[in-house]
Amino acid sequence: MEERHSIYDKINGIYFPGDSQMSITDDVFKQAFLDALNYQEDQVYNAKEHFPLFLMGNSLTTLVRARASVNGNLKDMGKMKYESFNLKTVS
């Protein structure tokens, strides 16, 4: 973790490519992924520095799963699970 943080201190963000299912279930990958998320949150909330994470493919799924397991704030949508909805954005 300390080695990763020293590397993070020298860069301006992290790109997580769309990884395979094997990466999502790999404990070493998950620990490094969670560590990067914790570092990013610390930069934003405590150091007041912008440190972007770019998540592609299954890495975004990994983020959602991590947040759901840690905070327990993502819930199954029940009957709406397989429904289609229109989304209207406002600029």
- At residue 10, does pLDDT exceed 90? yes
- Taking the domains of the chain in order of start, what are their residue ranges? 2-76
Contact (Cβ atoms closer than 8 angstroms) between residue 72 and residue 38: no
* The predicted structure's pLDDT at residue 88: 82
- At residue 40, does pLDDT exceed 70? yes
The strand pair at 14-16 and 53-55 is best described as parallel
Dump pLDDT digits (tens) for 13-33: 988 876 666 666 778 877 888
* The predicted structure's pLDDT at residue 85: 79
More confident site: 90 or 67: 90
Mean pLDDT is lowest, of 8-12, 21-25, 34-38, 41-45, for 21-25
